[in-house]
Structure 1
Amino acid sequence: MVNVKIKKRFVEKILGGYPLLTKDMLVNPEQLEKEGEVLVAADERGRFLARGFQGSQNKGVGWLLTWDSEEQVDQRLFSNRLRAALGRRNLWFAKADTTAFRVFNGEGDGIGGLTIDFFDDHYLFTWYSEGIYAFREEILNAFEELADYKSIYEKKRFDTKGQYVADDDFVRGEKPDFPLIVKENGASFAIYLNDGAMVGVFLDQRDVRKAIRDRYAEGKNVLNTFSYTGAFSVFAALGGAVKTTSVDLANRSVAKTIEQFSMNGIDYEAQDILVRDVFRYFDYAVKNKLKFDLVVMDPPSFARSKKHTFSAAKDYKDLMKRAIDVTEDKGIIVASTNAASFNMKKFERFIDEGFKEKGLRYEILESYSLPEDFKTTSAFPEGDYLKVLFVKKK
């Protein structure tokens, strides 16, 4: 156990439930030596504030788990948090048309650095620091007492660059045949829990995909940029889009997108699936006077290709201007970002500046943040990272 002292100016923030410890909060950061050590945070007079663990994740050095001086960081705590989280998802387990969702969302459910996703009775644990991974056996044992499962897989996302740690992903249960076929609002997705860092679909965009299918796609020509496995394109096609064009830099995106179309009985040969740098495709579309009724942009927070480096915090406004160039008048841009480094207000400013610099008007039709299974806490607004705006070009 390590005792850390919190600087006076951060005490109220921590007492308010802020769960992430950063180095600049600490009077004695030199005390931090080992990932997974239990931390006791106190003020400079020695008054107990909270208890957690050391775990390097992004800009943090640890997570606080309890503000109760009597509660220990042990299997009982993990069991209590897991039980509460599973209980909050009772209605999700009962859904027949959606069989993939998040059952535990990190600090929103009380344990920073851990997420658990459900894929039709198969579970995926994702560990975001060596610190939380140090409690792996306690957490898995607690989970096993609370939930029935067919299999458990895991992803480790805590190497020095915050990337995926390749390893044997299988943990417990019986290994299934892949892909798993799961439902999302009646549509089907092929899921792979054993094939690298990604599984085939980003669950946090569920509500956005449904909106595209139900309200925006019918009769439209749709461009899906940074398309990954084409999930937005699938929902657009199911919603009656005349045609979809999916653009992604990764070679494997073609086979993955074809698979997702095929899962839903969509003729993939009637769609365009392109391996291109999105920025070069924008140049191509402008040069050839291509325009779209609906443009979807969900770039990674940071990306690098041979000719471009993209940072959402610095470059989203310019990306928006590129999208405006290929959007029909009265067309719609679905602008999305998962960057946690800025809030919705700043994101709206990127949109506003992009249109103003083009000398055009716009209207925000609706906005989305994380769906309800991605539980967040008001004490940690950074955890509500997803920002999506449906923007109509006037």
Structure 2
Amino acid sequence: MKKVILHKGKDKSAWQLHPWVFSGAIKHKDDGLLSGDLIEVYNVDQEFIAFGAYNPHSRVAVRLLEWHPDRRPDEQWWRNRVRKAVEARRHLIHESNTTCRLIFAEADFVPGLIADLYGDFISIQVHAAIVDRVKDVLVDELVQLLKPKGVYERSDLKSREYEQLPDDNGLRYGETPPEYVEVVENGIRYHINIVEGQKSGFYCDQRDNRRLVAAYVKGKNVLDCFCYSGGFTLNAFQTDAAHVTSVDSSALAISTLQQNITLNQFDSSRHTAVQSDVNKYLRQLGEEGKQFDLIILDPPKYAPSRSSLEKASRAYKDLNRRGLLLLASGGLLATFSCSGAMDIDTFKQVIAWAALDAGKEIQFIHQFHQPEDHPVRASFSEGEYLKGVLVRVL
């Protein structure tokens, strides 16, 4: 097996089990290394640190896999990783919840792989060259463990460009998912589109937060922004919201949401669906003097990297300022960020600035997190990306 040697002083995070080695940390690498090659990583004193996977095209030049020198990552090693991840989530899969994240990349020691269960189907995304090489093994193990009708890949990701991997979408096992796959989350039925929907098809990372927010909506007038296929909207109907307005820029999202309302036999007369840019619509509502009892802001990732954090902070502040202007005293704002580069303290500070600009005094009354099927590995804090707060206007 070929070797990579790290610079003195640049090996600290590798010893501390962080799974990424950046190109600048490499002192020496053997000739002939190809993208996705399995390697041994050493320090300058020739002490073994870990097994890893090399990629000359990526800023993350080595993805560390295994720190025990006697556990070389072979086919059985990969199968064991998949099995451990799936078995840790078995208790989440039952009659009232048929969707969850099965594998969460680095958090489950399978860097570069996302696998989500959607009823009888599994959707996967591959971010890394090493996983691209062993994809067939990983899919086979998932099939043996869960017996799905089909496994579909949605690897059309910006991150693949950094690994110099082309887009790769298509069926990997069994049947192609139908246009709409039915799943159940929190006892609510959803039709989701795995083949053409956003990301892998559905955002199951908000499962717990949808239920928590819904506890506050009974009898209230709710505005759900960036609603996608209706997670927060449908949970609000389940707990007797008086009226819900759902906003998304995607026609497919709005169409899917309306189907989901019908699927669950909720009263559509208490619902307004709006296809619009959210910021533009919030501005319009403000000009019209509209008010809501509870507003949900669940925008896409504004800060894909730390270099974009300042610009993202301004966008988050403006969005939340517009939301707060639509809330009277006692109104509630459930606001989220899925940007890993923004930590919870920075996010709360941004919300405080938004409140100041809106002329509102606020309290933080609850903090939201990603659920247990999106665990955060102790040595990889970058895996903690979803955060949110519930704000009360005084």
Scaled by the length of structure 2, what TM-score is found?
0.90
| 2:322 matched residue in structure 1 | 322
- Contact kept? 1:98, 1:183, Cα under 8 Å: yes
| 1:124 matched residue in structure 2 | 123
| 1:105 matched residue in structure 2 | 104
Task: Summarize the Cα distance change of 1:218–1:163 in structure 2 as closer, same or farther, 3 Å threshold.
Answer: farther
Amino acid at match of 1:126: Q
CA offset digits 1:290-315 (Å, max 9, x no partner): 11111111111139xxxxxx953442
Alpha-carbon distance between aligned partners in 1 of 2:17 and 2:72, rounded to the nearest angstrom: 17
| 2:72 matched residue in structure 1 | 72
SS of 1:63's equivalent? strand
| 2:232 matched residue in structure 1 | 232
| 2:307 matched residue in structure 1 | none
Q: Deviating runs (4+, > 4 A) in structure 1?
A: 28-33, 55-59, 161-168
Alpha-carbon distance between aligned partners in 2 of 1:41 and 1:159, rounded to the nearest angstrom: 24
- Contact kept? 2:233, 2:244, Cα under 8 Å: yes
| 1:45 matched residue in structure 2 | 45
SS of 2:11's equivalent? helix
Task: Summarize the Cα distance change of 1:203–1:162 in structure 2 as closer, same or farther, 3 Å threshold.
Answer: farther
| 1:284 matched residue in structure 2 | 284
Shift of 1:82: 1.2
Shift of 1:383: 0.1
Deviates more, 1:107-116 or 1:313-322: 313-322
Task: Summarize the Cα distance change of 1:300–1:33 in structure 2 as closer, same or farther, 3 Å threshold.
Answer: farther
Identity of paired residues, percent?
24
Deviates more, 1:191-200 or 1:325-334: 191-200
- Contact kept? 2:36, 2:53, Cα under 8 Å: yes
State whether structure 2 residue 249 is matched by structure 1 residue 249.
yes
Deviates more, 1:137-146 or 1:292-301: 137-146
Give the total of aligned pairs: 388
SS of 2:219's equivalent? coil
- Contact kept? 2:300, 2:338, Cα under 8 Å: yes
Shift of 1:353: 2.0
| 1:296 matched residue in structure 2 | 296
Task: Summarize the Cα distance change of 1:85–1:146 in structure 2 as closer, same or farther, 3 Å threshold.
Answer: same
Alpha-carbon distance between aligned partners in 1 of 2:222 and 2:163, rounded to the nearest angstrom: 33
Alpha-carbon distance between aligned partners in 2 of 1:57 and 1:353, rounded to the nearest angstrom: 40
Shift of 1:60: 2.8
Task: Summarize the Cα distance change of 1:312–1:256 in structure 2 as closer, same or farther, 3 Å threshold.
Answer: farther
CA offset digits 1:311-349 (Å, max 9, x no partner): 534421222211111122211111101101121111111
- Contact kept? 1:4, 1:39, Cα under 8 Å: yes
Residue pairs, 1:327-366, within 5 angstroms: 327-366=327-366
Shift of 1:28: 4.4
CA offset digits 1:246-283 (Å, max 9, x no partner): 11222222212211211211233542111111111121
| 2:16 matched residue in structure 1 | 16
Scaled by the length of structure 1, what TM-score is found?
0.90
Alpha-carbon distance between aligned partners in 1 of 2:163 and 2:225, rounded to the nearest angstrom: 24
Residue pairs, 1:128-139, within 5 angstroms: 128-139=127-138
| 2:390 matched residue in structure 1 | 390
Shift of 1:37: 1.4
Alpha-carbon distance between aligned partners in 1 of 2:261 and 2:206, rounded to the nearest angstrom: 17
- Contact kept? 1:6, 1:42, Cα under 8 Å: yes
Alpha-carbon distance between aligned partners in 2 of 1:57 and 1:348, rounded to the nearest angstrom: 36
Alpha-carbon distance between aligned partners in 1 of 2:29 and 2:90, rounded to the nearest angstrom: 41
Alpha-carbon distance between aligned partners in 1 of 2:164 and 2:244, rounded to the nearest angstrom: 31
| 1:212 matched residue in structure 2 | 213
Amino acid at match of 1:193: I
Shift of 1:148: 2.3
- Contact kept? 1:74, 1:138, Cα under 8 Å: no
Amino acid at match of 1:322: R
Alpha-carbon distance between aligned partners in 1 of 2:330 and 2:55, rounded to the nearest angstrom: 48
| 1:202 matched residue in structure 2 | 203
Alpha-carbon distance between aligned partners in 1 of 2:230 and 2:58, rounded to the nearest angstrom: 28
Task: Summarize the Cα distance change of 1:56–1:205 in structure 2 as closer, same or farther, 3 Å threshold.
Answer: farther
SS of 1:319's equivalent? helix
Task: Summarize the Cα distance change of 1:339–1:59 in structure 2 as closer, same or farther, 3 Å threshold.
Answer: farther
Alpha-carbon distance between aligned partners in 1 of 2:153 and 2:251, rounded to the nearest angstrom: 25
Shift of 1:237: 1.7
TM-align CA RMSD: 2.8
- Contact kept? 2:242, 2:270, Cα under 8 Å: no
Shift of 1:10: 3.4
| 1:153 matched residue in structure 2 | 152
Unaligned runs of 5+ in 2: 304-309
Unaligned runs of 5+ in 1: 304-309
Task: Summarize the Cα distance change of 1:3–1:199 in structure 2 as closer, same or farther, 3 Å threshold.
Answer: closer
